[in-house]
Amino acid sequence: MTPSWPDLVAAEFQEMPGLRLTLAQAARLWGLAPRDCAAILDALVAQGVLGRASDGRYCRPSELWRVAARQPAA
């Protein structure tokens, strides 16, 4: 059985700790239309598989603190 796109995307983030991608980067990486890629990424965020940092990048939920730590204080 062929894995679904959400399964493939989730596996990429699990296999590459520290991976943080913008929507445009993710769409290019997987060769998906931005709208389709956004739907997949947002579904994975809703499921708690991925997180979305304040800078808009998608990453593993355990990586969110690293993205926040790199943000300059307001």
What residue spans define the domains of the chain?
1-49
Is residue 31 very low, low, confident or very high in pLDDT (cuts 50, 70, 90)?
very high
**One-letter amino acid identity for 58?**
Y
Q: Is the pLDDT of residue 33 over 90?
A: yes
Contact 32, 40 (CB under 8 A): yes
Q: Is the pLDDT of residue 20 over 50?
A: yes
**One-letter amino acid identity for 19?**
L
Euclidean distance between CA atoms 63 and 31, whole angstroms: 24
Encode pLDDT of 43-65 as tens digits: 999 999 999 999 999 999 998 86
Q: Which residue has the tokens 């991925």?
A: 50
What predicted TM-score, i.e. pTM, was given to this entire model? Answer: 0.82
Q: Which residue has the tokens 């998608």?
A: 58
Would you state the pLDDT for residue 73? Answer: 47
